[in-house]
Structure 1
Amino acid sequence: MAETPQWLTALVVGCTILLWALARLPEYLTALLFFAAAMLLHIAPASSVFSGFASSAFWLVLSGFVLGAAIRKVGLAQRWANWLVVPLSQSWPRMIMGTLLLTYLLALVMPSNMGRIALLMPVVLALGERAGIAPGSRGSIGLALAVGVGTFQLSASILPANVPNLVLSGAAESAWQLHLQWLPWWLLHMPVVGLAKGLLLGGCIIVLFRAQPLPVTQRDTLATLSAAEWRLLGLLLITLLLWMTDSLHGLSAAWVGLAAACVCLLPRIGFLSGDDFASGVNIRTCLYIAGILGLASVVVESGLGRLIASALLSLLPLEAQPSFHNFAVLSALVSLLNFVLTANGVPAMVTPMAQELASASGLPLIGVVMLQVFAYATPLLPYQASPVVVAMGLGNVPARAGLMLCVTLFFLSMVLLLPLDYLWFRLLGYGG
């Protein structure tokens, strides 16, 4: 295995990344092609190529789909929409900020971006129609973008709620034995990536997609909570509590989520049948995650990541001491790679280089690993974040509208929020 030419490994990795970036083939098919090419050409052992299936990220994504399917089936989604329509329909700013808050709260209990978008989009668009916002109008487009962009960008501050986060966590664990935990991650990223970004995003949508909802004063009358709804609410509360206290009990969020998913699938006790599981779990996305993590492992074990890092270090204008300049340069590097790799692929490539980047910049290893979050959670173009593209499709959002919001939010974030992110990193000891 050690005799495999470096150029051959680089060719397989490069072709895989290019296929993901261009989206000429389905993402899951590209992942399967990577597995096949890696094994046929012997560029890495099977334990590396298929390491994604043993990663916590893979199982957390799968369990997120199961929890999302259960929430939809028992009727909690419809109940939430009916509960929200009166308070959120009173004004346009309240509707947008309330939708963003909803995306964030749901991210606490439902790990899958795609699952949350699939759950929230019909709820929020129906809420808008009930308040007199016609489908296809600027207001409807704004609501759809609040669901899509809010779901992806704000959830980056919650470890298990975002696929790139899971890729970063898995790559950091594989490459540097860094075991990232829920609470430290949230404390580091929530103030800027969660709260400040949410306020900025809400302001952009309110201004760019003005609308005037008609206030709703009365909810529909629904039946009382069923036994299944009560059981699922209890399960979700226990799951959330265990996720938030993982630093105390040491149980990975993935295994907590997997246990909750198993409960959802149990006969009589659970909520989903075998057919529900088949239709509710997106195996394509699970294979894609396994492919990305396997690629990251191959990049590390083959030494390819070190070679790429060395080449980049010779071009980056880094200073010898930790500084905002170095923080901004490394963030710019992640943003540039985001054009080619997209958000899911960036941490798979950058995390294996983190030690070399840390040594050159003076920043701590954990700081270099964690600064990626702000950059990949702030895409310049919609295609860089597949959940945003999915949400635009579900919400019938014109490409021009999604592009306008992403570009505006990107430049405002870099000017206003990146310095705040650095100051918060320094305050918590992640900035050197």
Structure 2
Amino acid sequence: MGKKKPIIGLIVGLLIGIGLYFTSFPGLSNAGHLCLSFSLMTVAFWAFGVAQPGYISALYLILLSVFKVAPGTTIFSTWTGPMMYLIIGAYLIAAAVNDSGLGERIAYWYIDKYVTDFRSIIISIFVLTFILALLIPHPWPRAFLIMSVMAVVIKSADIPHEDAVKIGFTVFTASIPVSMIFLTGDASINPLAAASCAPITVGWMTWLKVMGVPMILTSILTMVMIMFMFKPSRQVTVNKLKIAEKRKSLGAMTGIEKRTALWVVVAIILWMTDSIHGVNIGWVTLFIAVMMALPGIGGVLTPKSWSSVPVQTLLFLTAAVAIGRVGGAAGMNAWIAQTVLPSTIPSNMFILGAFITAIAIIIHMFFGSVIAVMGIVIPAMLAFTQPLGINPIIPVMIIFTAVNCHFVLPFHNLAILVGMGEENGMYTEKETMKFGIPYTAVLFILTCAFELPWWKLVGLW
């Protein structure tokens, strides 16, 4: 399809939108009808890559506003609360840790201490991703930082290209489950899942209580699968002298690194104690970013640092959240739950968990976008499971796990997509499919063996 894909997607999306608009749906309000037409057209545009997602998101927001599908406070609700400012602050903190050199220093220290062979390289990727998840609240800069360090390891140990590809794939794959351990592990989508649990408030410690243990187990399982499926072609010995030289070349910690470390530690403390001080972590994160920019006590962030905050991503998140919230206000979500989903709800938690996981994976398989699928599936499933009276965190986190961990092709997960290519993680669609297909089946194990029993144990179910 290639170059024609955007044009085909534009036509398909318009046909979907127009076709739905002129189709009668009994029981669906006019606002819900418009929301359904605009939302599915937008998701089709995203799936086909008609244009950069930021532009498509802007179009969706314009349509909702011009046709008065919902009040502006509902359409742009992400900007009237702390979630968007958490994301902005997280991007700025990530830029500070990267630009200061603090993250690189930590990575080389760990490798010099604990890495000796191929197996320990794979383990080190997961451990470093975990450590840096507390310091850098976004998976992409984290992954590229770790990849830059691994490039030195690969070269110094004279690791063949076929094995270097396996290391690169591990770097970007590890970022998926590990980023879900902490609420700030992926500040672009974790807060979206947390916000979807309303009226339940999910703070930093609540997230860790709900997702920490299941995602640590998931990360370990992912690591074991990678070591089993991507064995090295020959024995690897890491050249510690080269790593030591690289550490020495970094010199002593600079003042900027020390100030960055100080403010990151303060941020972690404030994130972990949000239930005590009562300040939303969105305001905490933005406050820390501001402190990093002030003279004397900061001086880490500069006017150029704002370029690390992607406006297109903020628009994308605004539109994705709007699908769920406008759909709820307009009655679209309840209508979908009543019309499309089964009339009977499985009461057994394992059957229900497997059912929600299957629905989420099937829809994500076709649409690809994690945020877009969350925007459609989460509101519908919340309406579907409401009669059971279960905590809304349960269906939300099952869907989030299924959609965010699922990938067969690179476009299914941006963390995999950004790492693909010789100049990045060196892997191709071949490695992605080899791991992604069996990993899809594992998602049912994650839900039924890790998440649901844990949630039962901590009293969520």
Q: TM-score, normalised by structure 2?
A: 0.85
1:13 is displaced (CA, Å) by 0.9
**Partner of residue 218, structure 2:** 197
Distance across 2 between alignment mates of 1:242 and 1:139: 41
1:263 is displaced (CA, Å) by 1.7
Aligned with residue 425 of structure 2, among 373, 391, 395: 395
Unaligned runs of 5+ in 2: 1-27
Distance across 2 between alignment mates of 1:109 and 1:78: 12
Change (3 A) 1:18 1:310: same
Give CA-to-partner distance per residue, 1:244-293, whole Å, 9 cap, x none: 11112112221111011112223453212212322x22222222112212
Give CA-to-partner distance per residue, 1:393-432, whole Å, 9 cap, x none: 421211111121122222234246632322112112223x
Aligned-partner residue type, residue 270 of structure 1: G
Q: Is residue 182 of structure 2 the alignment partner of residue 161 of structure 1?
A: no
Q: Is residue 418 of structure 2 the alignment partner of residue 374 of structure 1?
A: no
Give CA-to-partner distance per residue, 1:286-312, whole Å, 9 cap, x none: 221122122222111111111111123
Change (3 A) 1:114 1:285: farther
User: How many corresponding residue pairs?
Assistant: 421
**Partner of residue 128, structure 1:** 154
Secondary structure at 1:213 match in 2: coil
**Partner of residue 181, structure 1:** 203
Contact persistence 1:128–1:140 (CA under 8 A): yes
Secondary structure at 1:357 match in 2: helix
Aligned-partner residue type, residue 161 of structure 1: G
Change (3 A) 1:3 1:89: closer
Distance across 2 between alignment mates of 1:54 and 1:109: 26
Secondary structure at 1:395 match in 2: coil
| Equivalent residue runs for 1:12-27 within 5 Å | 12-27=38-53
Change (3 A) 1:337 1:166: farther
Contact persistence 1:86–1:215 (CA under 8 A): no
Q: Is residue 112 of structure 2 the alignment partner of residue 86 of structure 1?
A: yes
Identity of matched residues, %: 21
**Partner of residue 239, structure 1:** 267
Distance across 2 between alignment mates of 1:417 and 1:48: 32
| Equivalent residue runs for 1:19-418 within 5 Å | 19-134=45-160, 137-162=161-186, 163-173=188-198, 177-193=199-215, 195-211=216-232, 212-218=235-241, 219-220=244-245, 221=248, 222-268=250-296, 269-278=298-307, 280-314=308-342, 318-319=345-346, 321-339=347-365, 340=367, 342-361=369-388, 363-381=390-408, 382-393=410-421, 394-415=424-445, 418=448
1:34 is displaced (CA, Å) by 0.8
Contact persistence 1:59–1:258 (CA under 8 A): yes
Distance across 1 between alignment mates of 2:146 and 2:270: 24
Higher relative contact order (CA 8 A, sep 6+): 1
Q: TM-score, normalised by structure 1?
A: 0.90
Distance across 2 between alignment mates of 1:78 and 1:155: 18
Secondary structure at 1:106 match in 2: helix
Contact persistence 1:28–1:287 (CA under 8 A): yes
**Partner of residue 430, structure 1:** 460
Give CA-to-partner distance per residue, 1:77-106, whole Å, 9 cap, x none: 332343233235312111101101111221
Distance across 2 between alignment mates of 1:82 and 1:108: 17
**Partner of residue 14, structure 2:** none
1:356 is displaced (CA, Å) by 2.8
1:119 is displaced (CA, Å) by 2.7
Contact persistence 2:157–2:238 (CA under 8 A): yes
Contact persistence 1:89–1:131 (CA under 8 A): no
Secondary structure at 2:420 match in 1: helix
Secondary structure at 1:313 match in 2: coil
Change (3 A) 1:366 1:172: closer
Aligned-partner residue type, residue 321 of structure 2: L
Distance across 1 between alignment mates of 2:447 and 2:202: 23
Contact persistence 1:197–1:413 (CA under 8 A): no
Distance across 2 between alignment mates of 1:358 and 1:397: 40
Contact persistence 1:89–1:216 (CA under 8 A): no
Distance across 1 between alignment mates of 2:106 and 2:182: 22
Give CA-to-partner distance per residue, 1:123-150, whole Å, 9 cap, x none: 233333233224xx23222222222111
Change (3 A) 1:167 1:243: same
Distance across 1 between alignment mates of 2:278 and 2:311: 28
Over aligned residue pairs, what C-alpha RMSD do you find?
Answer: 2.3
Secondary structure at 2:456 match in 1: helix
Aligned-partner residue type, residue 75 of structure 1: G
Contact persistence 2:90–2:138 (CA under 8 A): yes
Contact persistence 2:90–2:136 (CA under 8 A): yes
Give CA-to-partner distance per residue, 1:160-194, whole Å, 9 cap, x none: 22233221222333xxx22111112212222222x
Distance across 1 between alignment mates of 2:112 and 2:169: 21
Deviates more, 1:361-370 or 1:164-173: 361-370
Contact persistence 1:64–1:257 (CA under 8 A): yes
1:31 is displaced (CA, Å) by 0.9
Aligned-partner residue type, residue 67 of structure 2: L
Distance across 1 between alignment mates of 2:89 and 2:117: 36
Deviates more, 1:234-243 or 1:287-296: 287-296
Distance across 1 between alignment mates of 2:446 and 2:379: 29
